[in-house]
Amino acid sequence: MTNARKLGDLQSNNILDIFAAIISQLQAIPSNQINSQQLSNTEEKLQEILSQLQFELLNAQEQKNWEQVNKLSLAVDECKNTLNSVRASIFRVNIIGINQQNLAELQKISQDIDNARKTQLKIDFAIHLLGFLRKLFLK
């Protein structure tokens, strides 16, 4: 395993930690209502994830690991789309409700984050999670 790959693995673990923080924050919201401050916090965390994904994408490009480049490109696009959804929610200044179905999905995602930390499916999981978060903030 190269030093660059070890760094990428560390970045992926850090990305999962940020996802875990976002999910924990969403699960802890009183009365299941997301306000603009919580949206701003989520935006900041997603921006961190985007930066890390872009860094890993550059590493994969330098290593000419095209399979990883394709996955990371998809993850970067998903993250940008999710960020746009969160920003749109901030601009709308709406309170977004988290229904029981979304709460159940958040619980499942918390478990999936723990499982993803143990496997090599970190980027695939990140793409899936970003899609869910984007749908959550579009409502």
Question: Residue 71: what pLDDT?
Answer: 93
Question: Residue 12: what pLDDT?
Answer: 62
Q: Over the stretch 42-52, which tens digit does the pLDDT of each residue have?
A: 899 999 999 99
Question: Residue 6: what pLDDT?
Answer: 38
What is the pLDDT of the chain when averaged over all its residues? 79
- Confidence check: pLDDT of 27 > 90: no
Residues 138, 34 contacting (CB under 8 angstroms): no
Helix, coil or strand: residue 99? coil
Farthest CA pair distance, the chain: 48
Q: How many Å from the N-terminal Cα to the C-terminal Cα in the chain?
A: 43
Q: Over the stretch 55-72, which tens digit does the pLDDT of each residue have?
A: 999 999 999 999 999 999
Helix, coil or strand: residue 34? strand
The mean pLDDT of 92-113, rounded to a whole number, is 74
Residue whose structure tokens are 């550059």? 58
Per-domain residue ranges of the chain = 3-138
Q: Over the stretch 83-93, which tens digit does the pLDDT of each residue have?
A: 998 888 877 75
Evaluate if pTM is beyond 0.85.
Answer: no
The set of residues, in sequence order, having a beta carbon less than 8 Å from that of 70 and lying 6+ positions away, is: none
The neighbouring-strand residues paired with 96 are 34
pLDDT tier for residue 99 given thresholds of 50, 70 and 90: confident
The more confidently predicted of residues 35 and 78 is 78
Distance between CA atoms of residues 133 and 139, nearest Å = 11
